[in-house]
Amino acid sequence: MKKKEIKLQTAFLEKIKELIPENYSLADELSEVLGMSSDSAYRRLRGRTLLTINEVAKLCQKFNISFDLFTQNTENVTFAYKSMETEQDLKIHLLGILDAIQKTSKPKNKSVTYAAIDIPLFYHFMFDELGAFKIFYWMKAVNSYDSVQGKKFDFDVVDPEILAIGKQIWEAYKDIPCVEIWSDETGNSLVKQIEFYWESGNFKNKEDALIVCEQAKKQLETIKKQAEVSSKNLTKNKTDDSKFLLYHSDIEIGNNCIFARREEAKFVFLTFNTFNSLLTANIKFTKEIENWLDNLIKKSTLISGAAQKYRFQFFDRAIKKVDLLYDKILNS
């Protein structure tokens, strides 16, 4: 066998090893997925037997690995995504986000860098009513699900199971070391969504709209506090796992971009269609995104930690927009 083929197979199997839990046996996984003996699996792990194209296809499908792993130097990048045509698809999508975050939180060497065009979805699930509003908005305004057409927003219209998944997403995210980059536009989309739903008669009553506004304000105040102590987890002592750095960018960010690292594996998530996301582990692409984020951070201002003046000014501008909307609804 050619050394190049063995090297490629080793890299492919190492990628699978990065994706399975640490206490799992890679040989056992190969045996189960490919329906072969442990001896046959070990022969492939040791490079004595090459994987067939059918075996590679089965492994790619099982572990959600793109074939572009084998063509890293080309201009082609393959992305994975999940369709969200139904409410059940939305639930599966959120479970996928939860699984990705939980896998990222386990290794010792892990981090997330998030360039945010709007407030990262994780934070919305800190508050039940706000989380329910965002889910309803995604279901009705973005995905146009039949289950919510003709309905107005109230807190009972959203599946409690979906909200429970969202809560788990937040609990998992706050224990991952994270760098976030916000601009002055980051908080605007939520305010505009609440305002649009109020003005278009999509709230069942004024009280619900006011509660969502109140929680939007509490959300910003909580994130401000997290930035002050440089930790997303306010309920226990600070650890490296909950470390939080927040930057303010004067440059328009353009789209939500998440760069995640766990051990040596790197992943990029890009949003599309407002809420859905594209995922790739393409080495060349993830490196380019990593460089772009590093450059964006260098041009941004750190507003977490000791940067009290800049942090106050940034969040004061955002909170005032929520207060104005609250007064507008209250007096209408």
Tell me what pLDDT residue 237 has: 63
Same domain, yes or no, for 210 and 267? Answer: yes
R_g of the chain, CA atoms, integer Å: 22
Tell me what pLDDT residue 100 has: 85
The reply to whether 111 falls in a domain is yes
Q: Write the burial class of residue 131 (CB in 10 Å: 0-12 exposed, 13-18 middle, 19+ buried).
A: buried
Same domain, yes or no, for 177 and 263? Answer: yes
Same domain, yes or no, for 20 and 109? Answer: no
Same domain, yes or no, for 98 and 55? Answer: no
State how far the Cα of 182 lies from the Cα of 116, in Å rounded to an integer: 5
Q: Which pLDDT tens digit goes with each residue over 242-282?
A: 789 999 999 888 889 999 988 778 889 998 877 788 888 88
Tell me what pLDDT residue 325 has: 97
State how far the Cα of 162 lies from the Cα of 164, in Å rounded to an integer: 5
Tell me what pLDDT residue 70 has: 59
Q: Which pLDDT tens digit goes with each residue over 200-218?
A: 999 999 999 999 999 999 9
Range scoring the smallest mean pLDDT among 4-8, 154-158, 227-231: 4-8
- Over 90: is that where the pLDDT of 21 sits? no
Pairing of strands 178-182, 110-116: parallel
Q: Directed axis angle between helix 128-137 and helix 160-173, to 10°?
A: 110
Q: Which pLDDT tens digit goes with each residue over 82-100?
A: 778 888 888 988 998 898 8
Count: domains in the chain: 2
Tell me what pLDDT residue 234 has: 86
Q: How much of the chain, in percent, has pLDDT values that exceed 70?
A: 94
Same domain, yes or no, for 151 and 225? Answer: yes
Same domain, yes or no, for 123 and 56? Answer: no
- Over 60: is that where the pLDDT of 168 sits? yes
Same domain, yes or no, for 159 and 272? Answer: yes
The reply to whether 82 falls in a domain is no
Same domain, yes or no, for 265 and 175? Answer: yes
Would you place residue 324 in the very low, low, confident or very high pLDDT band (cuts 50, 70, 90)? very high
Tell me what pLDDT residue 166 has: 94
User: How far is C-alpha 230 from the chain's CA centre?
Assistant: 20
Same domain, yes or no, for 36 and 101? Answer: no
- Over 90: is that where the pLDDT of 63 sits? no
Would you place residue 236 in the very low, low, confident or very high pLDDT band (cuts 50, 70, 90)? low
CB 29 within 8 A of CB 42: no
Tell me what pLDDT residue 73 has: 56
Same domain, yes or no, for 113 and 35? Answer: no
Same domain, yes or no, for 38 and 102? Answer: no
Mean pLDDT for 36-46 is 92
Mean pLDDT for 107-136 is 93
The reply to whether 164 falls in a domain is yes
Domain span including residue 16: 3-65
